Structure 1
Amino acid sequence: MLLLGIDLGTSSIKISVVDHESQKTLASVSYPDEESPIQSAQAGWAEQDPNMWWEHIKMGIQKAHSKGAYNPNDIKYIGIAYQMHGLVLLDSQGNTLRNAIIWCDSRAVPIGQKAFRELGEQAILQTHLNSPGNFTASKFKWVQENEPEIYRKTKHLLLPGDFVSYRLTGEYCTTHSALSEGVLWDFSKNSLSKTILDHYKLDTSVIPAIHPVFDDHGRILPTIADELGLAHDVHVTYKAGDQPNNALSLNVMQAGEVAATAGTSGVIYGVSDDLVYDKQSRVNTFAHVNHREDATRTGVLLCINGTGILYNWIRKIAGGGLSYDEINQIAAEAPVGAQDLRIFPFGNGAERMLNDRMIQASIMDIDFNRHDRASLFRAAQEGIAFAFRYGLDIMRENGMIPKVIRAGHANLFRSAVFRSSFVATTNTPLELYQNDGSVGAALGAGIGAHAYRDAQEALGGLQRIADFAPEPVLCDQYEALYQGWKEELIKKLNIKKTI
């Protein structure tokens, strides 16, 4: 029996097919080859076409089939991981009404901040664990206020993973974890949030049926099965946001365990057995994949919008057609500290850890006689590591103090420069695993189908490929560099505050 995993990212779609019994990955592909575009009609806006996602998913599945490594008819269960917090609106016929307003879109920040004040900050944090911010509920309120005709036509509000599941099965459903990431879940009542929906005066009928994360989310439509070369008895049995799914794929399931990613955005995600929240909502808490009413498992999430997207931008501007691996090698030619060149990676919308401020990215102290491409590439990676440290200190304030951080050997964690600066700046050991979000989604499908007893069994084949421990001398170097970077960041925040 085979399991198929779909990972709907911002930049691309990843597809993996895993053999249930051996847990061996038979095929793993991404589509398209170049990063998918983000549409930004105004500063702080970020949209993508859900129909583009669907077409890319279909092409990705066909690409996996073309490897000839398995019989597509042996695929029985599908798992879906997806970019979190997005808003997808469909009409009564299941057609998209507008582009998806995706996770890094900032247009709803004033709406969320106003609701936070009006609902009572501590009251809403105690029950929802987050400010409404620019999450899904606030995005929908923006549509109601600014696009009333689209709001009136809306019959189904879906998260990105729910949309993919719908296109596969024809069924409208979501999960409590998905609703929590949209700040539509009341943890105190363990139910859909009447508080948020009533305050925003939103139509509750657009919320689909609520399923557990590991559950039968529907059987594939015969027409879709035929189009994708799959059997007609395939079921979707797992749906989770990309960060809870990344934690699952790294076997980060119990309190105190911590995962990290550094793709388009950068994330540190720690599991708690308590309903914890940051008093300023700079880091956010959502229902983890194994959260239940009788067994609290929440994910405390630090998100930095501008990480991999910064590195991609610099590659386009200064990379001259080089691959990421090649520019990583060039970055290593520059000394620690990049000869005092500083980069602040905050150019992808409002940053939650900066109190939903949008200060934009910046490059400081360029010396035309000293700095070159290597300096620029290294400063970008170090600036991202410093942003991680800034956010991790907020998590530490809230009791999430990791003894070790687990990450997959992917994206920025493939870079020796980034790994060393990350470990030294955070002063925390790093464990690197051979993992992939789409593989995690496939294994999640196996758990949802009861092919595995639990995550421990599903992830028995997880391979740790390297360990990195903090080196005292390097930690001292980076501590001094970080403090200088942080001092400049605080100046930027104060300047923006007074404008």
Structure 2
Amino acid sequence: MYLLGYDIGSSSVKVCLVEASSGKVVASDFSPKKEMKIIAMQAGWAEQNPADWWTNLRLAHESVMHQAGIQADDIKGIGITWQMHGLILVDKDQNLLRPSIIWCDSRAVEYGEKAFKKIGAEKCLSHLLNSPGNFTASKLAWVKENEPEIFDKIDKIMLPGDYIAMKLSGKIGITIEGLSEGIFWDFTNNCISKDVIEHFGIPESFFPEIVPTFGIQSTVSATAAAELGLKEGTPISYRAGDQPNNALSLNVFNPGEIASTAGTSGVVYGVLDHLDYDKLSRVNTFAHVNHSKEQIRLGVLLCINGTGILNSWLKHNFATSLSSYGDMNELASLSPIGSKGLSIIPFGNGAERVLENKDTRCSIHGINFNIHSKGDVLRAAQEAIVFSYEYGMNIMRGIGMNINVIRAGNANMFLSSIFRQSLASVSNAVIELYDTDGAVGAARAAGMGIGFYSDSSEAFASLEKIAVIEPEHEKRDQYLEAYSRWQDHLQAII
């Protein structure tokens, strides 16, 4: 018996097949092999064509099925995870009306700010746990004002994972977790927010049926079964945004537990058991995968756009003579803690929520042509990403989040010894690295959705811890001195 996990990222689509009894990965692949294109028609814009997600899902899925050599009816559940906050619009025939406005697009900031003032800060924070900010609801408001001919054709709105579920089943649904990440959910009244949809002029008919995060949400249609080589009727039994799902993948379900990722964007995600929020919405609070009216489980999300993308930009534009990220890490390791006084403000990917939606751009401070080299710049970039995490984690601590242990997958920036050791030492937290990823987590969660696993402990019993990184207490003063210098540069800008 097997479980499928689909992870719809902005760089690629990953597919993973898990053997249910052992929890082991049988096969996995991703597509495309180069990063998917992000369309930026103007500065601060970011769009992708959802049809490209489906095309790449098909390619990766075909590879996984070929690797595994199993029969279609051996697959008993499908789980989906996706890049959060994207907006997908379809007409009554389920045709796409425009490309998706994705998570790192910042065009809707002013729409969220106006809504926050009009609805009222206290009302927004106590009911939505956030400002409408630059999230899905505000992106839809932008479409309403700037593309009225498209808005008039909308039948349903979706998030990226809902679109994939629609392609698999022909049915459209959305979860409470999905509604909350779009800033459509009223946590006080446990319903779609009347305040938000009335302010933005969004018909309630735009919202699909609410489906459970775990459970039989829909089943694979005959059309999708023929296209993918699946069995018609296979249950789609789990879906969640990438950060709640990443936490799930690391077995983070309970209050006080912390998960982190460091890919294109950087995230620290912790679980609360009571309604709480940052008054400035610099970190955001959403429904976690196991949230319910009866059992409050909220994810406090620190998301920083300008993190791993800085490292990627340096690789493609600055360190072109180096063949891999590993080579970059090796060269950076020759530079000392603090990068010889060099500091980088890494926020070059649009407005940052942690900075109250300011767009500071990326900047380099303290270059001395006589002492600094390429390795110093590369180390300073990794330290800058770490310092942006610590800046945000201090906000999380301010609303009662204890950060003693950080769990992460052994991927992306966490593959760098500089990054993970600097993060452990600056935050004074132990970092635990696990052999997992979002697609694996979604597959295991699909097993919970069909009832194969009795609970999360059983579903994640095979989760493998591969490394523990302790803070370097004897060198912490050096890390904190570099962080203080970085923070001074940031404060001068904002």
Query: TM-score normalised to the size of structure 2?
Result: 0.98
Q: Which residue of 2 aligns with 1:497?
A: none
Whether the 8 Å CA contact 2:31–2:60 is kept in 1: the answer is yes
Deviation at 1:142, TM superposition (A): 0.6
1:65 & 1:376 partners in 2: Cα distance? 43
Matched residue SS, 1:3: strand
Moved more, 360-369 or 438-447: 360-369
Q: Which residue of 2 aligns with 1:355?
A: 356
Deviation at 1:229, TM superposition (A): 1.4
1:10 & 1:474 partners in 2: Cα distance? 37
Deviation at 1:196, TM superposition (A): 0.5
State yes or no: 1:78 paired with 2:78: yes
Which amino acid is 2:463 matched to?
Answer: L
Whether the 8 Å CA contact 2:342–2:364 is kept in 1: the answer is yes
1:219 & 1:483 partners in 2: Cα distance? 53
Whether the 8 Å CA contact 2:221–2:233 is kept in 1: the answer is no
2:189 & 2:253 partners in 1: Cα distance? 23
Q: Which residue of 2 aligns with 1:177?
A: 177
Which amino acid is 2:155 matched to?
Answer: K
Q: Which residue of 1 aligns with 2:379?
A: 378
Matched residue SS, 1:66: helix
Q: Which residue of 2 aligns with 1:102?
A: 102
Moved more, 268-277 or 468-477: 468-477
1:446 & 1:406 partners in 2: Cα distance? 22
1:371 & 1:29 partners in 2: Cα distance? 40
Deviation at 1:365, TM superposition (A): 2.2
Which amino acid is 2:436 matched to?
Answer: N
Q: Which residue of 1 aligns with 2:220?
A: 220
Q: Which residue of 1 aligns with 2:345?
A: 344
Which amino acid is 2:426 matched to?
Answer: T
Whether the 8 Å CA contact 1:26–1:70 is kept in 2: the answer is no
Structure 2 residue runs without a partner (length 5+): none
1:470 & 1:417 partners in 2: Cα distance? 12
2:399 & 2:315 partners in 1: Cα distance? 36
1:41-75 deviation line (CA, Å, top 9, x unaligned): 11111111111111111111012123245444411
Which amino acid is 1:122 matched to?
Answer: E
State yes or no: 1:291 paired with 2:296: no
Deviation at 1:368, TM superposition (A): 3.0
Q: Which residue of 2 aligns with 1:416?
A: 417
Matched residue SS, 1:67: helix
Deviation at 1:80, TM superposition (A): 0.3
Deviation at 1:358, TM superposition (A): 0.9
Matched residue SS, 2:98: coil
Matched residue SS, 2:313: helix
1:448-493 deviation line (CA, Å, top 9, x unaligned): 1111111111000011111111121221111000000000000011
Q: Which residue of 1 aligns with 2:492?
A: 491
Whether the 8 Å CA contact 2:169–2:220 is kept in 1: the answer is yes
Whether the 8 Å CA contact 2:47–2:102 is kept in 1: the answer is yes
1:69 & 1:373 partners in 2: Cα distance? 47
Q: Which residue of 2 aligns with 1:93?
A: 93
Which amino acid is 2:79 matched to?
Answer: G
State yes or no: 1:257 paired with 2:260: no
Q: Which residue of 2 aligns with 1:241?
A: 241
1:244-268 deviation line (CA, Å, top 9, x unaligned): 0000010100001010100111000
1:40 & 1:473 partners in 2: Cα distance? 45
Whether the 8 Å CA contact 2:91–2:97 is kept in 1: the answer is yes
Deviation at 1:324, TM superposition (A): 1.7
2:69 & 2:457 partners in 1: Cα distance? 26
Deviation at 1:164, TM superposition (A): 0.7
1:66 & 1:310 partners in 2: Cα distance? 36
1:438 & 1:348 partners in 2: Cα distance? 26
1:171-223 deviation line (CA, Å, top 9, x unaligned): 01000000000000000111111110011111111100001101212111112
Q: Which residue of 2 aligns with 1:406?
A: 407
In the alignment of these two chains, the number of paired residues is 493
Q: Which residue of 1 aligns with 2:300?
A: 300
Q: Which residue of 2 aligns with 1:496?
A: none
1:370 & 1:91 partners in 2: Cα distance? 59
Which amino acid is 2:246 matched to?
Answer: N
Which amino acid is 2:264 matched to?
Answer: T
Matched residue SS, 2:67: coil
Whether the 8 Å CA contact 1:73–1:229 is kept in 2: the answer is no
Which amino acid is 2:331 matched to?
Answer: I
1:112-164 deviation line (CA, Å, top 9, x unaligned): 01110111101210011000001111110110000000000111100111001
Q: Which residue of 2 aligns with 1:39?
A: 39
Q: Which residue of 1 aligns with 2:188?
A: 188
1:73-131 deviation line (CA, Å, top 9, x unaligned): 41121100100011000111111111101111111111101110111101210011000
State yes or no: 1:61 paired with 2:61: yes
1:303-355 deviation line (CA, Å, top 9, x unaligned): 00111111111110123251222222222122211222211111112100100
Structure 1 residue runs without a partner (length 5+): 494-499
2:63 & 2:318 partners in 1: Cα distance? 31
Moved more, 270-279 or 329-338: 329-338
Whether the 8 Å CA contact 1:27–1:69 is kept in 2: the answer is no
Matched residue SS, 1:451: coil
State yes or no: 1:426 paired with 2:427: yes
1:292-312 deviation line (CA, Å, top 9, x unaligned): 100000000000011111111
Which amino acid is 1:184 matched to?
Answer: F
Q: Which residue of 1 aligns with 2:476?
A: 475
2:220 & 2:233 partners in 1: Cα distance? 7
1:405-464 deviation line (CA, Å, top 9, x unaligned): 111101100110101111111111111111111000001111111111111110000111
Matched residue SS, 1:153: coil
Matched residue SS, 2:223: helix
Q: Could you tell me the percent identity over the aligned residues?
A: 49
Whether the 8 Å CA contact 2:365–2:489 is kept in 1: the answer is no
1:122 & 1:456 partners in 2: Cα distance? 38
Whether the 8 Å CA contact 2:421–2:472 is kept in 1: the answer is no
Which amino acid is 1:62 matched to?
Answer: E
2:132 & 2:298 partners in 1: Cα distance? 17
Q: Which residue of 2 aligns with 1:395?
A: 396
State yes or no: 1:48 paired with 2:48: yes
Whether the 8 Å CA contact 2:404–2:428 is kept in 1: the answer is no
1:61 & 1:373 partners in 2: Cα distance? 40
Whether the 8 Å CA contact 1:116–1:132 is kept in 2: the answer is yes
1:94 & 1:233 partners in 2: Cα distance? 20
